[in-house]
Amino acid sequence: MAGRGKITSSDTVTSTRVKVFGQDSLWYVAKHPLHFDKPRFTGVGPGLSFALNILAYEKEDSIGLIPTAVGGTSIKHWQKNIVYEKLNVKPYNDALERAKRGIASGSFKGVVWHQGENDSKNAAFLKEYPRYFYGFLDSLKEDLALEQLPVVIGELGHFFYQKRPLAETLNDTLRSLAERDPCIAIVESDSLLDKGDKVHFNSESYRILGERYAKTMYLLQRQCPVK
């Protein structure tokens, strides 16, 4: 979700109507990289493209992005009070606190979720992925006092299948979440290309992924508004 694409001149376009909630809990005009996770590697991701394309649907509102990605984490690390020992952080708790601080300036509209490379190693664990995902989602709704929340999930890149065949199984699992819950929608990653490592999308593909996220989120918010 943080993105590993190379920042080029094509990635400098932004808008004063798109803000990002910084690591210091202040709002800034959004630009790449959005995330402060692993700054040596973070670059173009889908988030800014998502927001810029949402503007085409939301003619007057401003868009606030609250980045919370932690690269390399498992869905197990996104449970309440669980520590990601490699970095000694609590991804869920940290994301929740940032969300609470951020939405003091506006209203919470939904979650864009892109995660799973780390979880596509073990076939047995993949059977448990839905339980962990719903554990994360149920906690988030409870802690933010929400009855329903639109969540858009992105597939892993299909090119990743060559490196880790179980990634296809994980994508099937992600699609099953969307089939079972009317407030969850899936964004497909077919036809998108990697940056040469068979793991991360290239910059152009991140931009396209963001466009797909925006269209899907816009439609989902009308079917399942936050309440």
Confidence grade of residue 37 (pLDDT, cut at 50, 70, 90): confident
CB 109 within 8 A of CB 146: no
Q: Can you tell me the distance from the alpha carbon of 183 to that of 219, in angstroms, rounded to the nearest whole number?
A: 11
Residue 162 has pLDDT above 90, yes or no: yes
> What mean pLDDT value characterizes the chain?
95
Residue 5 has pLDDT above 90, yes or no: yes
Q: What is the pLDDT of residue 11?
A: 85
Q: What is the pLDDT of residue 209?
A: 97
Buried b / exposed e across 89-123, counting CB within 10 Å, b at 16+? Answer: ebbbbebbebbeebeeeeebbbbbbbbbbebbeee
Span between the terminal Cα atoms of the chain, in Å: 25
Percent share of the chain, pLDDT over 70: 100
Confidence grade of residue 39 (pLDDT, cut at 50, 70, 90): confident
Q: What is the pLDDT of residue 203?
A: 95
Q: Can you tell me the distance from the alpha carbon of 146 to that of 100, in angstroms, rounded to the nearest whole number?
A: 12
Residue 147 has pLDDT above 90, yes or no: yes
Q: What is the pLDDT of residue 42?
A: 86
Q: What is the pLDDT of residues 78-107, one digit of tens each?
A: 999 999 999 999 999 999 999 999 999 999
Q: What is the pLDDT of residue 217?
A: 97
- Which domains can be identified in the chain, with CATH numbers? 68-223 (3.40.50.1110)
Q: What is the pLDDT of residues 121-146, one digit of tens each?
A: 999 999 999 999 999 999 999 999 99
**Mean pLDDT across 218-223:** 96
